[in-house]
Structure 1
Amino acid sequence: MSVVVVTYNSEKTIEETLSSLARQTYPTDSYELIVVDGGSTDDTEAIVEEYDAAFHVVDGGTIGACRNHGIDVSSGEYIAFTDSDCAVPATWLDSHVERIESPNDDIEGQDDVTIAGVGGPNRPFPTDPWFSKLVGSLQGTVFGSGGSPQSYAIGEVRLVRSVAACNVMYDAAIFDSHRYDDAVNVGEDAEFHFRLSEAGYRFVFDPAIAVSHHLSSTFGAYCKKSRSYGYAMARIQRRHGKVIRWYSALPSLALGGGMLAVLADLAARKARYVPLLLAAFLLVSGYGTAQVYRDRRSPTALLVPIMLAAQYTYYGIGFLEGLAAPDPVSQDLP
């Protein structure tokens, strides 16, 4: 068994990650811990040295390149990944191994695919700021996550096409013929898992195997991350020349549609289309607000319409920037 943690300038969070991995119920002598660093300039390495972990540096490496290096130096039959801003429960490895070796016979479609691995959701830390928890609750709604299983509150074990790389265990055999793309940074797991799904692989998603994950703690960070996700998804889809996630272009289309609606109403000097769009948004955001309030039981749920508007706007802008970028593979979000 190999556990790989990819990191970059994570001195504030990586100790939580390594400490949680050191407390596993899985036998200590049965797994190796590997930290792959993209070239940190802070005290990340000094913190890692306090733990029984192999430390490797891929200076200037993308997340995809760092994950591949971790795979290259791993020796386990299974390879698990989590990130340096996460903490895993004590039963994390045991739960993954049990699920990957004994998937439910009742999972629909299991006999028709090859299982690449097992994954689960990621949730905010209990000690995180209220805004991070609000982001986590919003991502637990279909409009906040687009239905991605790693965030959206799926309550049953089932097959999915992709899981988050901060909470996944692979059968190492798949890496004999499939790897992450060294050129892809943000969205490297979505790109890799898309190729796996095209090759007939699926993941078993188990909602009970959750990790704690530090989510955006400020509104500015939330907007920036939304933009980077949109940018990355456009680059990936340009590269493959096909739609990876059908909903990825919707925010950009909504932005364009909104601008056209405003221009049409101004030209006609009559409010016809804009009120309809506003009514549709209020319906969507109202549903999301109700879901978040049911989860949080807090008046902060009233911020959901603003957060959704910001998320869709920044994701849509990032997506358009990704489509317009001259190099969809190597250029980073400015």
Structure 2
Amino acid sequence: MAFDFSSSKPGPPQNENSRGLTITIVVPTLDRIDFLERCLDSIKQQTHVPDEIVVATHEWDSTTAAYLRSAAPFPCPIRQSVTREKGVIANMQAAINITKSNVVALLDDDVTLHPNWIEKVLCHFESQPRPSGVGGKDFLQDDPAGRQIEPLTRRVGVFAWTGHLSGNHHRGTGPPREVDVLKGCNCAYDGVLLRRIGLDHSLRGSGAQVGWELSLAFDIKKTGGRLVYDPSIQVDHWIAPRHDESLLNRTSTQTVEFQHMIYNGFCIMRRKAKLHHYWGHVTHALLWGNRSACGAIRSVLLVLSGDQDAWRRFAVVFHCWVESVRTTHRPARSTAPTT
């Protein structure tokens, strides 16, 4: 279901698109008007106006619908897609399905775009060879002072031979380069390819459904597509409250969403990664992991240092891996991103 708010509230004329490429910006949201309004305002300030915006909502989110009906005129058409299903994947898929543009950007509602964001994205899509997806850097605003002293890195969004995935999109530096995965708050994809592939509806969760970007990256790489990370494509990321089972934080280890995050990671790697990447991922997760999702060795060290809850967290990780093996079929031949 979709609603068009552009005809009743026409805005100023759009900029001419000299490149011939059209771009739609999809913004999934759920009852976070303050963040959505700030995000839309940053789109309004772009040096290149998008061809349209689709605000992706759920049918029970009457607050967002009311806001869109009463919003001030905008420089481009704004449509609202509506879905009855829970989770961001169904939310975004409903929006993607009604797009027609050459390029479809996916943004979190809690980001604000730097003024040349669209211009830089379209520059990549008009280059040759044309990428299948483009993403950039998000400046996390949860602790601005602390984030400013974090070391920068060129190792962003790539797999090691062990199967360990380096994120670091918020700390990226250097020139544009090909990567294995983009960050979902700041990315854009070839519209035809995205509409054909779609998102992974098998992932668990009723909110953020962690891992959809990784699953999509595997599917794009399977087609021979390229993903490009450019740290000059920048957004500010304000980390809004969430409305899923995790309430506020996916790293809260006693939530259902924490279990979904671990389970989704195992399932994606089992179904779509190269065999050595999959077993490297499993070995690292079960033996070492990280402080919240700790493996066996790390949990022993944490218990000895006084963290008695570490054993429970390791048990969650082990249970999620066993369940992923039980519920997920691994294909005979795998098609993973190459490092």
Shift, 1:163, TM fit: 0.5
Q: Where does residue 332 of structure 1 map in the other structure?
A: none
Q: Where does residue 296 of structure 1 map in the other structure?
A: none
Query: Which structure has greater helix proportion?
Result: 1
Asked whether 1:84 is paired with 2:109, we answer yes
Shift, 1:198, TM fit: 2.6
1:7 corresponds to which of 29, 32, 42: 29
Q: Where does residue 95 of structure 2 map in the other structure?
A: 70
Q: Where does residue 234 of structure 1 map in the other structure?
A: 266
Identity fraction in percent: 20
Alignment partners' CA distance in 2, 1:79 and 1:5:
11
Say which SS state the counterpart of residue 183 (structure 1) adopts: coil
Checking the alignment, whether the CA contact within 8 Å between 1:236 and 1:328 is kept in structure 2 is: no
Checking the alignment, whether the CA contact within 8 Å between 1:233 and 1:319 is kept in structure 2 is: no
Say which SS state the counterpart of residue 221 (structure 1) adopts: coil
Structure 1 unaligned blocks of 5 or more: 104-110, 263-273, 282-305, 330-334
Alignment partners' CA distance in 2, 1:190 and 1:139:
24
Asked whether 1:212 is paired with 2:239, we answer no
Shift, 1:233, TM fit: 0.8
What is the aligned length? 270
Alignment partners' CA distance in 1, 2:279 and 2:136:
19
Asked whether 1:121 is paired with 2:137, we answer yes
Q: Where does residue 256 of structure 1 map in the other structure?
A: 296
1:21 corresponds to which of 35, 43, 48: 43
- Structure 2 CA distance for partners of 1:41 and 1:68, relative to 1, 3 Å: closer
Checking the alignment, whether the CA contact within 8 Å between 1:4 and 1:33 is kept in structure 2 is: yes
Alignment partners' CA distance in 2, 1:136 and 1:235:
35
| Superimposed CA distance per residue, residues 63-98 of structure 1 (whole angstroms, 9 cap, x where no aligned partner) | 222222222111211111111111111211111001
- Structure 2 CA distance for partners of 1:56 and 1:324, relative to 1, 3 Å: same
Q: Where does residue 186 of structure 1 map in the other structure?
A: 210
Q: Where does residue 249 of structure 2 map in the other structure?
A: 221
Amino acid at match of 1:93: I
Structure 2 unaligned blocks of 5 or more: 1-22, 158-163, 204-208, 242-247, 289-294, 330-339
Alignment partners' CA distance in 2, 1:90 and 1:181:
31
TM-score by length of 1: 0.66
Alignment partners' CA distance in 2, 1:115 and 1:65:
25
Shift, 1:174, TM fit: 1.3
Q: Where does residue 219 of structure 2 map in the other structure?
A: 195
Alignment partners' CA distance in 1, 2:145 and 2:85:
32
- Backbone CA RMSD of aligned residues: 4.1
Alignment partners' CA distance in 1, 2:258 and 2:25:
28
Say which SS state the counterpart of residue 223 (structure 1) adopts: coil
Alignment partners' CA distance in 2, 1:227 and 1:174:
31
Amino acid at match of 2:51: Y
Alignment partners' CA distance in 2, 1:246 and 1:135:
30
